[in-house]
Structure 1
Amino acid sequence: MILYPAIDLKDGKAVRLLRGDMDKATVFNDDPAAQALEFVAQGCEWLHLVDLNGAFAGEPVNAAAVEAILKQTKTPTQLGGGIRDMATIEMWLGKGLSRVILGTVAVERPELVREAARAFPGQVAVGIDAKDGRVATKGWAEVTQVDAVDLARSYEDAGVAAIIYTDINRDGAMQGPNVEATAALANAVTIPVIASGGVSSIKDLKALRDCGAPLNGAISGRALYDGAIDLKAALEALKA
């Protein structure tokens, strides 16, 4: 199981939000590229980036910070937030991004997700962010009536590389992930699933690894910044 360190970008800085609230942001590093290099130095296999401003604006906002990370590290990197048309998908993949994450458009424009997955095999993931089982869009500002598992199943034949499943109520709260819901979603589809939201200890990572579903990986942010998870120790534990 891959551990994806998260770098959430707001106003050009690496931050963490509490349950997706932009007014509850803690700045952890003024230099996101330096933060990325720190994670890489500790041995991570992937980086997970989110353009928080972009998620609300519907277009890239923290492009300069993302580009700086891509220039300074060769570690595979995935990005979500504000990617809502083919031109933006092509732009980011052309700049060296390994994988784009499509969230809002996965609900509103499924045909775009399918087109992108065909055009860029292995480089398009679907982000499913859920509150009480219902999918939220537009930077989590709008909760739809779409069921998270139903949405995941609808992409079974689309060729997407992964599903990033986030439980919004757990995100940034340091209260542990929603293992049960994550396992249920992962067992409902054949698409690789990456868990996100609430991962706050090595124990949480092991619980996800041993949840009875074949998870591709888990994303952690605040716990790495706060020191609740030592990245090197976590990587070793997941290999054991």
Structure 2
Amino acid sequence: MSAPRRSLFRPCIDLHNGQVKQIVGGTLSEDSPDTLKTNFIARQSAAEFAQIYKEHNLEGGHVIKLGPGNDEAALQALSAWPDKLQVGGGINDKNAKSWINAGASKVIVTSYLFPNGQFSLERLRDISNTIGRDHLVVDVSCRRREGKWLIAMNKWQDITELEVSKETLDILSAYCSEFLIHAADVEGLCQGIDQELVKKLGEWVTIPTTYAGGAKDISDLDLVDTLSGGRVDLTYGSALDMFGGTQVKFEELVRENAIRQAENNKNST
């Protein structure tokens, strides 16, 4: 019996109006821009962050375009580390292949799968067939409502009726190679992860999965590892010193991640 996999740190680049920012997840709305709460605006470009991730061999990171005006910055990030970063935000069947051709290892979709707020299996099949399952990540970011996690689209503003559950994830995983799951209710708050959700994901997922939302301490990587049985990876955002935070040092996280990656590589051989 092989040794269990260990959860890893996955980096991110969140783009808003062409700048790298850390935003409180539930506050981003084009209809109500005054409600936006921003924790951090970087001086460095998206490409500079991509270069940092390249230098530390941090693969599987996601570049998320939060609204219009971010294509150029995203393209520059992909050019800085081709075929190693994923890109999401406004992805559909018409533009997905162009982002792969531009250097994205995978594209991330949510809203495209929910025309008029209703899940479309046909659209999922179409985009999967267009670019190939191996190039597709489904973002099942969610909000908790009455004891359930419901998938949220349109920058987490619109809550769909599709529940994050084993049944849902099994259906989706037939057409994609990875999940990205933002717990939108705790995203950007640095007040702790949604432990119940992470535990459930560890029980449900059968493909690589990255969780984001609320991570506030380097020990959260161990917590996610324990709760999910090593089946879920973790993204840090606003708590990281490279994003203006004070709770988690990027260099310490890089060292811890290298140890875990080496163990995973050894155990997989």
What is the TM-score normalised by the length of structure 1? 0.88
Asked if 1:157 corresponds to 2:174, the answer is yes
- Cα 1:112–1:137 change in 2 (3 A) is same
Aligned: 1:126 with 2:103? no
More deviation, 218-227/133-142: 218-227
Offset, 1:227: 4.2
2:47 corresponds to 1:33 = yes
* Structure 2, unpaired ranges of 5+: 1-6, 29-35, 261-269
Structure 1 letter corresponding to 2:182: T
Task: Report the equivalent of 1:222.
Answer: 238
- Highest Rg: 1 or 2? 2
RMSD: 2.0
Asked whether the 8 Å contact 1:2–1:45 carries over to 2, the reply is: no
Please give the secondary structure, in 1, of the residue aligned with 2:227.
coil
Residue of structure 1 aligned with 2:77, choices 69, 83, 88: 69
Matched, 1:21 2:27: yes
Change over 3 Å in CA distance of 1:148–1:79 after alignment to 2: same
Q: 1:178-217 to 2 correspondence within 5 Å?
A: 178-217=194-233
Answering whether residue 96 of structure 2 is matched by residue 89 of structure 1, we say: yes
Do the aligned partners of residues 216 and 101 (structure 1) sit closer, same or farther apart at CA in structure 2, a change above 3 Å counting? same
Tell me the alpha carbon deviations over residues 20-60 of structure 1, each in whole angstroms, 9 at most, x when there is no partner: 31311231235221222233334422321110014xxxxxx
How high is the sequence identity, in percent, across the aligned residues?
Answer: 21
Question: Does the residue aligned with 1:236 lie in a helix, a strand or coil?
Answer: helix
Determine which structure has the larger strand proportion and give its number. Answer: 1
Partner of 1:115: 126
SS of 2:42's equivalent?
A: strand
Q: 1:146 maps to what in 2?
A: 162
* CA separation of 1:65 and 1:197: change in aligned 2, threshold 3 A: same
Residues 189-229 of structure 1, C-alpha deviation per residue, up to 9 Å, x if partnerless?
32222111111211111100121434242112212211422
1:57 maps to what in 2? Answer: none
2:252 matched residue in structure 1 = 233
